[in-house]
A and B are shown apart, each in its own frame.
Chain A
């Protein structure tokens, strides 16, 4: 009996082990036999080809290996033209010693030109091919995607993938971009109740202060101050060694890009869609006087107090979208002489901030409605659930309705802390009274 069971065991093992051995080993590939793509850029090439730029990590340069720092460049880029992405990759594979692997790609950049013609064909590749992971960030470059990749060279660290990853995650504390991943983009692209967005990227031409002056004179629209973030990726007044820029959001309808949001507008987008982290927001001082226009500011650190509530009602065939946004913040700095940290002044500041931001949010929403015609804040979601049948929902045609929507925004800002300082002591406050 026992012998029989042993024979059985041996037989089973003899069957299973070849299975393991024969089915396994094929995929077996060593870490150092592959090259890891950190970022990929797709531009329009000649004759409707794609011009694919791969930014590849050079592991030796990253440096735990033997003799760190032996290689200066942590990344290496390669550009290939091919009709499809994977075709291009095959061409690259035939040239370089290692096998291209996308499993650690951090960013995919598509040029605006391609994006305006629709990017569904790329998304299909990204979703279907197993090496692309859904949490790769997707960005649209205002100019050439290849240029953006080449200008994204890390300065503060050696590791290019870390550089890109941290850069893309920065929206959580700046609010200037959307941090969209491929998976997110795809699901929003497919969705009938909202539209997709992507990170807006660009490469800067600004080398020195003069360039900044030129840029401002070129774009001088109001003559007033441009609030921080109120521009897109290529026009940032920044002088920095690394020329890659991320600012603002590319807005899509389905898979086609229709416009951009500036960095500041992206703040409001994040507020309404409930994705805002903790951002530093600058308010013009409440009781501004005529002779000092916008010269004093109150900086507050804003966070989402509660998830935004969005309700949609249909009145006279047109949707009325009621949005309730609750924010709370700390006072970080007050450049003026008024002390808003206590009492009535605090309430005054809260009311002012609520009104100010509400106006800004409203104008952002109007922009999405009138100019972009794209419901990126997913307001359609709240009315979609009121439909019993899919066909009804489809025939309701939400994207068209959104163009006629009315907005009713309630926004409250609560100041919770006044920073480390309890109250202001003005420099001329004490003696100023004597002068009177």
Chain B
């Protein structure tokens, strides 16, 4: 008891800290109440303004049927309905939030009073603290225990009703989120539903515009709702509001048409309008830069596509640079990306199939393939995997990659992420499938093999001899990245006889003043290299490039002159770094950079035998791997039909007559065996390029 008393004393004497707790509670409760009051005020204000109609329509998890009833009889709102619904809603309020909140209120009030009392008392006489504390502890024993144990300040409690505690709550929430409530005929009801769905009183960028539409000499109430910033307001004005508000007065021969048809056919000259029957459809549209148009007496709403958010324009690719070939890259907008592909391929068989991924985000994704080339089973598999994904929010294709890939732990990427439309187009023309994710400038291509990862888009645009040479250089770079530090370590610690004597003496002399074993200095340099690289990515643009280069140089130079590492080691690390930059696929680069360390350790443990063992394991993993059913080492392991024309060496483009066999495309042949007609003979081809028959 004494302990408690002294503790409380302490708490109370350190006033700013200890007073915070009750005050915070106080404040929070006050806030809540004030919020409530304000909302109540608002609602009352509104109710007075809108003739008390809206309260009934407040949708809550339970009153779906009720609303349905209402929607059937929207026009003639009766007093009975009102009263009954009022009762109901009040009851619900009480039942849902009232119980708990009232309890809390009581609690907070009691605390408040007690604290106030205690404060006063402490001010008057510190000896009375004990009594106060007794009172205090008497009321909340568990809390007191907590305070005694931890002495921490309790954060503002979240209202219990807001937390989804159990399954039923989640289910209810889900139902509420995904409800396909039919649209009410009453425009007021719709307005209230939309306001409620979008929390219009708090959401600053949610805009509602009410107006009147004149159809068949009758003015109907109407409103549009949209997000400011997501939409193009000038389109809204010119294509929706202007015609609806002004053109409706013009005489149109619309005798036999219904109001809905007139509005759809004549009054909304916007190219993408869908007729929605449920609120959810409108909401989905509005969330993605659309506009919802509600007209009184109609049991449908119109969702128009008026996207107009700020986005990046089509720019140069940032990660897959090239010298030859097109220089456009994807950006974050799904449709721009699909348009870029369509622009490149110009094929009506190119299918852009939309799938929404993300339970909450409903991110638009597109499965792109060429209908009469891509294997149907492959497309089905992609669709199956994509549709089965259940996550809340999908933001980037990188997330999608890790959700779609066959093996999470494989030390190699199983799909290709590229920001180049031309590259995707060439893969699509081989019979692969691409996945565009809205919000990501990287498009996923599946399936791939290991060889695709060492190809660069430039290979196709360069002449055959150069591209083969480039590929060799790249493979060499890959090998260096993976094996050079490990081999250096193995040779200098186990296999001294392998090095030329001069080099060995050079290494020995350069190591003469280095205090660390080779493994330590190697790891030091490798890690600092990784640091420089990582920091170089994070450093703000203007200082970044200079700092990374200068940092690398100075670090290397200083490390040598401080005798931390030998200069030969610096060369090894630098060449390794260069090699890693030559790997065209970013993801593969990461994988190899990580595996490099494994090889270093293996080399340290057992020299070249360790490296050999590592290669053995690595290859086992890779040979076992599959990307959407296609083995990773195809066409070499397993061997597939036909000559390997674009794996390690790329044959000239006229020699690539067949699409990859392992993709099982619907049409295996992509060009005739003689694709250059003119080589047949000088006389064989006419001037206009057609083959002459009398050759």
Residues on A close to B: CB < 8 A?
A: 16, 20-21, 23-25, 27-32, 34, 36, 57, 59-66, 101, 103-104, 106, 131, 133, 159, 161-162, 165
**Are B497 and A103 within 8 A (Cβ)?**
yes
Interface residues on B, range: 20 to 34
**Are B518 and A30 within 8 A (Cβ)?**
yes
| A104 in contact with B497 given A27-B607, A32-B512 (CB within 8 Å) | yes
| A66 in contact with B518 given A36-B508, A133-B497 (CB within 8 Å) | no
Q: Which residues on A sit within 8 Å (CB–CB) of B563?
A: 66
Nearest B-chain residue to A38, judged by Cβ: B501
Whole-angstrom distance between the Cβ of B473 and the nearest chain A Cβ: 28
Q: B636 at the A/B interface (Cβ < 8 Å)? A: no
Whole-angstrom distance between the Cβ of A12 and the nearest chain B Cβ: 10
Q: B504 at the A/B interface (Cβ < 8 Å)? A: yes
Whole-angstrom distance between the Cβ of A324 and the nearest chain B Cβ: 39
Whole-angstrom distance between the Cβ of B42 and the nearest chain A Cβ: 56
Give the residue of B513, B518, B609 whose beta carbon is less than 8 angstroms from that of A65: B513
Q: Which residues on A sit within 8 Å (CB–CB) of B497?
A: 103-104, 131, 133
Distance between Cα atoms of A312 and B568 in the complex (Å)? 56
Distance between Cα atoms of A161 and B504 in the complex (Å)? 11
- Among B260-307, those with CB < 8 Å from A are none
Whole-angstrom distance between the Cβ of A45 and the nearest chain B Cβ: 29
**Are A162 and B607 within 8 A (Cβ)?**
no
Q: Which residues on A sit within 8 Å (CB–CB) of B496?
A: 29, 31, 34, 101, 103-104
| A30 in contact with B493 given A24-B610, A59-B509, A65-B513 (CB within 8 Å) | yes
| A32 in contact with B511 given A62-B506, A159-B505 (CB within 8 Å) | yes
**Are A20 and B505 within 8 A (Cβ)?**
no
Whole-angstrom distance between the Cβ of A72 and the nearest chain B Cβ: 14
Q: Which residues on A sit within 8 Å (CB–CB) of B512?
A: 32, 59-60, 65-66
Query: Told that A29-B493, A63-B506, A106-B501 touch, could you supply 16 new A-B pairs with CB distance under 8 A?
Result: A20-B605, A20-B610, A24-B604, A28-B493, A29-B496, A31-B511, A32-B511, A36-B505, A59-B506, A65-B506, A65-B513, A66-B512, A104-B497, A104-B504, A159-B501, A161-B502
**Are A66 and B505 within 8 A (Cβ)?**
no
Distance between Cα atoms of A117 and B573 in the complex (Å)? 54
Q: Which residues on A sit within 8 Å (CB–CB) of B507?
A: 31
What are 22 A-B contacts defined by CB distance under 8 Å? Answer: A16-B613, A20-B602, A20-B613, A21-B605, A30-B493, A30-B518, A31-B493, A32-B508, A32-B511, A59-B512, A62-B502, A62-B505, A62-B509, A64-B509, A64-B567, A65-B508, A65-B511, A103-B496, A133-B497, A161-B501, A161-B502, A165-B501
Q: Which residues on B sit within 8 Å (CB–CB) of A159?
A: 501-502, 505
Distance between Cα atoms of A101 and B493 in the complex (Å)? 13
**Are B605 and A24 within 8 A (Cβ)?**
yes
Across chains A and B, which 8 residue pairs bring their CB atoms closest together, nearest first? Answer: A65-B509, A24-B606, A59-B509, A103-B497, A59-B508, A24-B605, A64-B506, A32-B511
Distance between Cα atoms of A60 and B492 in the complex (Å)? 17
Q: Which residues on A sit within 8 Å (CB–CB) of B505?
A: 36, 57, 59, 62, 159, 161
| A65 in contact with B606 given A27-B494, A104-B501 (CB within 8 Å) | no
Distance between Cα atoms of A25 and B613 in the complex (Å)? 15
Nearest A-chain residue to B603, judged by Cβ: A24
Whole-angstrom distance between the Cβ of A177 and the nearest chain B Cβ: 21
Whole-angstrom distance between the Cβ of B497 and the nearest chain A Cβ: 4
**Are B513 and A66 within 8 A (Cβ)?**
yes
Distance between Cα atoms of A29 and B602 in the complex (Å)? 15
Residues on B close to A: CB < 8 A?
A: 492-494, 496-497, 501-502, 504-514, 517-518, 563, 566-568, 602, 604-607, 609-610, 613
Distance between Cα atoms of A76 and B570 in the complex (Å)? 30
Whole-angstrom distance between the Cβ of B507 and the nearest chain A Cβ: 5
**Are A64 and B510 within 8 A (Cβ)?**
yes
Q: Which residues on B sit within 8 Å (CB–CB) of A61?
A: 509
**Are A65 and B613 within 8 A (Cβ)?**
no
Distance between Cα atoms of A226 and B606 in the complex (Å)? 59
Distance between Cα atoms of A143 and B553 in the complex (Å)? 55
Q: Which residues on A sit within 8 Å (CB–CB) of B508?
A: 31-32, 34, 36, 59, 65
The number of residue pairs between A and B whose CB atoms lie closer than 8 Å in the complex comes to 100
Whole-angstrom distance between the Cβ of A26 and the nearest chain B Cβ: 10
Whole-angstrom distance between the Cβ of A161 and the nearest chain B Cβ: 4
Whole-angstrom distance between the Cβ of B280 and the nearest chain A Cβ: 38
**Are A162 and B606 within 8 A (Cβ)?**
no
**Are A30 and B517 within 8 A (Cβ)?**
yes
Whole-angstrom distance between the Cβ of A106 and the nearest chain B Cβ: 7
**Are B605 and A25 within 8 A (Cβ)?**
yes
Q: Which residues on A sit within 8 Å (CB–CB) of B502?
A: 62, 159, 161-162
Whole-angstrom distance between the Cβ of B410 and the nearest chain A Cβ: 12
Whole-angstrom distance between the Cβ of A69 and the nearest chain B Cβ: 11
Q: Which residues on A sit within 8 Å (CB–CB) of B509?
A: 59-65
Whole-angstrom distance between the Cβ of B332 and the nearest chain A Cβ: 36
Distance between Cα atoms of A165 and B517 in the complex (Å)? 30
| A30 in contact with B506 given A20-B610, A165-B501 (CB within 8 Å) | no
Distance between Cα atoms of A319 and B599 in the complex (Å)? 62
| Residue from A60, A66, A131 having most chain B Cβ neighbours under 10 A | A66
Q: Which residues on B sit within 8 Å (CB–CB) of A20?
A: 602, 605-606, 610, 613
Q: Which residues on B sit within 8 Å (CB–CB) of A63?
A: 506, 509
Distance between Cα atoms of A36 and B505 in the complex (Å)? 8
Distance between Cα atoms of A323 and B504 in the complex (Å)? 45
Q: Which residues on A sit within 8 Å (CB–CB) of B610?
A: 20, 24
Nearest A-chain residue to B506, judged by Cβ: A64
Whole-angstrom distance between the Cβ of B515 and the nearest chain A Cβ: 11
Distance between Cα atoms of A31 and B518 in the complex (Å)? 9
Distance between Cα atoms of A23 and B602 in the complex (Å)? 12
**Are A162 and B501 within 8 A (Cβ)?**
yes
| Residue from B497, B607, B610 having most chain A Cβ neighbours under 10 A | B497
Whole-angstrom distance between the Cβ of A70 and the nearest chain B Cβ: 10
Nearest B-chain residue to A103, judged by Cβ: B497
Q: Which residues on B sit within 8 Å (CB–CB) of A161?
A: 501-502, 505
| Residue from A30, A65, A161 having most chain B Cβ neighbours under 10 A | A65
| A30 in contact with B501 given A24-B605, A62-B506 (CB within 8 Å) | no
Q: Which residues on A sit within 8 Å (CB–CB) of B518?
A: 30-31
Nearest B-chain residue to A101, judged by Cβ: B496
| A24 in contact with B607 given A30-B492, A30-B511, A66-B563 (CB within 8 Å) | yes
Whole-angstrom distance between the Cβ of A371 and the nearest chain B Cβ: 38
Nearest A-chain residue to B567, judged by Cβ: A64
Q: Which residues on B sit within 8 Å (CB–CB) of A66?
A: 510, 512-513, 563
Distance between Cα atoms of A62 and B568 in the complex (Å)? 15
Whole-angstrom distance between the Cβ of B521 and the nearest chain A Cβ: 10
Whole-angstrom distance between the Cβ of B485 and the nearest chain A Cβ: 15
Nearest B-chain residue to A34, judged by Cβ: B496
Distance between Cα atoms of A130 and B567 in the complex (Å)? 30
Q: Which residues on A sit within 8 Å (CB–CB) of B602?
A: 20
Nearest A-chain residue to B508, judged by Cβ: A59
Q: Which residues on B sit within 8 Å (CB–CB) of A131?
A: 497
Distance between Cα atoms of A36 and B513 in the complex (Å)? 17
Whole-angstrom distance between the Cβ of A244 and the nearest chain B Cβ: 18
| Residue from B505, B510, B563 having most chain A Cβ neighbours under 10 A | B505
Whole-angstrom distance between the Cβ of A229 and the nearest chain B Cβ: 29
Nearest A-chain residue to B494, judged by Cβ: A27
Nearest A-chain residue to B496, judged by Cβ: A103
Q: Which residues on A sit within 8 Å (CB–CB) of B494?
A: 27-29
Distance between Cα atoms of A290 and B507 in the complex (Å)? 63
Q: Which residues on B sit within 8 Å (CB–CB) of A31?
A: 492-493, 496, 504, 507-508, 511, 518
Nearest A-chain residue to B563, judged by Cβ: A66
**Are B504 and A36 within 8 A (Cβ)?**
yes
Nearest B-chain residue to A24, judged by Cβ: B606
Whole-angstrom distance between the Cβ of B180 and the nearest chain A Cβ: 38
Q: Which residues on B sit within 8 Å (CB–CB) of A36?
A: 501, 504-505, 508
Distance between Cα atoms of A161 and B609 in the complex (Å)? 29
Distance between Cα atoms of A106 and B497 in the complex (Å)? 12
Distance between Cα atoms of A337 and B512 in the complex (Å)? 61
Nearest A-chain residue to B560, judged by Cβ: A66
